[in-house]
């Protein structure tokens, strides 16, 4: 099963199973074998009533596509960035300027939170 198709199934199930929730959110990772263009994913999110999204990285095109969508965004800070950002205020300020402030000010992305992301892959 392709990852993009799986994402569509998850979004559809979430919209059907949770119709009475005050808000529905989705996780959006960009590491996929067949990724959909960000503007199509944003359209799918809006059409399915998704009001919040958690990104596992600050991918430029993904954030730009979320601009003016009305969707609340949580941006993840990947593990490999943590040591650098924790040890250097200048590096942290630069990362926030590039990956948060630019998208809020230029693209009107509704970024509400930053989160430390821990990605782990396991096999059954």
pLDDT tens figures, 20-60: 556 788 888 877 888 899 999 999 999 999 999 999 889 99
Side-by-side strand order, sheet with 110-116: 24-28, 50-55, 72-77, 110-116
Cα separation, 61 vs 59, whole angstroms: 6
Res 74: pLDDT: 94
Going by C-beta distance under 8 Å and a sequence separation of 6 or more, which residues neighbour residue 121?
none
- 28: exposed, middle or buried (C-beta count within 10 Å: 0-12, 13-18, 19+)? buried
In whole angstroms, give the CA distance from residue 106 to residue 67: 9
What is the pTM for the complete model shown?
Answer: 0.74
Listed residue (36, 13, 14) closest to 25, CA to CA: 14
């Amino acid at each position: 099963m392709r990852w993009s198709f799986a994402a569509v199934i998850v979004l559809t199930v979430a919209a059907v199973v949770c119709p009475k929730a005050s808000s529905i959110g989705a996780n959006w990772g960009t590491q996929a074998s067949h990724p959909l263009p960000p503007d199509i994913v944003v359209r799918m999110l809006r059409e399915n009533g998704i009001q919040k999204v958690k990104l596992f990285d600050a991918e430029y095109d993904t954030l730009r596509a979320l601009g003016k969508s009305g969707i609340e965004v949580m941006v993840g800070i990947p593990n490999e960035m943590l040591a650098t950002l924790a040890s250097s205020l200048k590096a942290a300020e630069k990362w926030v300027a590039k990956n948060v402030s630019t998208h809020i000010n230029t693209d009107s992305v509704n970024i509400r939170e930053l989160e430390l992301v821990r990605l782990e892959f396991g096999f059954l």
